[in-house]
Amino acid sequence: MKSILTTRSNDWAPLIGRLALGVMVFTHGAQKLLGWFGGYGFKGTMGFMTGAMHLPWIIGFLVIIIEFFGGLFLLLGLITRIAALAVTLSFLGVVLKVHLANGFFMNWGMAAGKGEGVEFFILLFGLSLGLLITGGGKASIDSIWSPSSLEN
Q: Distance from first CA to last CA of the chain, Å, rounded?
A: 21
**Is 53:42 a contact under the CB 8 Å cutoff?**
no
35 burial via Cβ count (<10 Å: 0-12, 13-18, 19+)? middle
Residue type, 34: L
Tell if the pTM clears 0.85, that is, is over it.
yes
Kindly give, in sequence order, each residue whose CB lies less than 8 Å from that of residue 132, ignoring residues fewer than 6 positions away. Answer: 81, 84, 85, 88
Higher pLDDT, 78 or 145: 78
Q: Which residues of 102-120 are buried (b: 16+ CB within 10 A; e: fewer)?
A: beeeeeeeeeeeeebbbee
pLDDT, tens digit (0-9, with 9 covering 90-100), for 75-104: 999 999 999 999 999 999 999 999 999 999
Q: How many CB atoms lie within 10 A of CB 133?
A: 9
Q: Indicate whether 26 pLDDT > 50.
A: yes
Question: DSSP label at 113?
Answer: T
Tell me the average pLDDT across 97-112: 88
pLDDT at residue 69 in the model:
98
Report the mean per-residue pLDDT for the chain: 92
pLDDT-derived band at 9 (thresholds 50, 70, 90) equals confident
